[in-house]
């Protein structure tokens, strides 16, 4: 599984802690972790929680990533922004129980965590426990297990509902504020990671053309 980490500007100083915890758990399980930043509070490319959602939509819909780990101060803003995107199903995860239940019941493709609220002693241990509950073993098995089938059915209904209520990702990219989109993909490692992993030629081509526009002006 390709896991993308996206950190919002107010919590950028914690990116190293988050990335270290995520990689320590996910990589021994055979997953790849791609850190899309922000890498520090001084990064030239600054990500708001709205941009986190837009970037999550790009990565998941292009299949450049299979799962997104993001967050902000409370986790709420990034969760809402992620869930505004087509094909993104993001849960607010605070502790390992949240992670386990989200993985088994909702089986979404993104989580948002609070990196200011409640981020105190041994916060990195909580992060590792959360990631272990998410990425070790099979997700979507249901909890309690006797309700697995109805949960699977409801997930399918939700996906159809979202598909009916959202534009496709390319349309989103073409109609969203283009300066906002440029800012969301301006990260230091975005081009390196994204274009090597994207499986959607139309999304890749559009973002390349957008990135090239200032140089042509």
Read off the pLDDT of residues 198-212 as tens digits, 9 standing for 90 and up: 999 999 999 999 988
> Mean pLDDT in the chain?
96
Read off the pLDDT of residues 121-144 as tens digits, 9 standing for 90 and up: 999 999 999 999 999 999 999 999
27 bridge partner residues: none
- The H or E element containing residue 114 is strand 110-114
Confidence tier at 215 by pLDDT (50, 70, 90): very low
Domain locations in the chain as residue ranges: 2-216
Read off the pLDDT of residues 159-176 as tens digits, 9 standing for 90 and up: 999 999 999 999 999 999
Read off the pLDDT of residues 34-81 as tens digits, 9 standing for 90 and up: 999 999 999 999 999 999 999 999 999 999 999 999 999 999 999 999
For 108, the token pair is 């979404």
Task: Tell me which of 16-25, 187-196, 204-213 is least confident.
Answer: 204-213
For residue 217, what pLDDT is reported? 39
Residue 197: Cβ within 10 Å count: 18
For residue 178, what pLDDT is reported? 97
For residue 197, what pLDDT is reported? 98
| Stronger pLDDT, 55 or 214, i.e. the higher one | 55
Confidence tier at 214 by pLDDT (50, 70, 90): low
CATH class of 2-216: alpha beta
Q: Is the pLDDT of residue 85 over 70?
A: yes
Q: Are strands 2-5 and 67-72 parallel, antiparallel or unpaired?
A: parallel
For residue 212, what pLDDT is reported? 83
Q: Cα angle vertex 56, ends 55, 58, to 5°?
A: 65
How many angstroms separate the first and last alpha carbons of the chain?
39
Q: Is the pLDDT of residue 179 over 70?
A: yes
Q: Is the pLDDT of residue 21 over 60?
A: yes
How far apart are alpha carbons 24 and 84 in whole angstroms?
A: 30
């Amino acid at each position: 599984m390709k896991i993308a980490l996206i950190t919002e500007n107010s919590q950028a100083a914690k990116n190293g802690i988050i990335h270290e915890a995520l990689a320590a758990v996910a990589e021994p399980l055979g997953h790849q972790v791609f850190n899309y930043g922000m890498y520090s509070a001084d990064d030239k490319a600054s990500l708001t929680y709205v941009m986190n959602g837009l970037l999550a939509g790009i990565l998941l819909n292009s299949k450049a990533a299979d799962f997104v780990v993001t967050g902000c101060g409370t986790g709420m803003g990034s969760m809402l922004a992620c869930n505004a995107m087509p094909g993104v199903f993001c849960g607010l995860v605070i502790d390992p129980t949240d992670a386990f239940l989200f993985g088994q019941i909702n089986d979404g493709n993104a989580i948002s965590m609070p990196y200011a609220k409640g981020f105190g002693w041994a916060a990195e241990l909580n992060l590792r426990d959360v990631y272990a509950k998410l990425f070790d073993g099979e997700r979507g098995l249901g909890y309690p297990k006797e309700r697995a089938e109805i949960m699977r059915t409801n997930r399918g209904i939700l996906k159809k509902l979202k598909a009916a209520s959202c534009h496709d990702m390319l349309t989103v990219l073409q109609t969203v504020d283009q300066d906002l989109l440029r800012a969301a993909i301006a990260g230091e490692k975005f081009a390196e990671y994204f274009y090597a992993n994207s499986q959607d030629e139309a999304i890749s081509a559009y973002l390349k053309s957008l990135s090239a526009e200032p140089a042509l002006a």
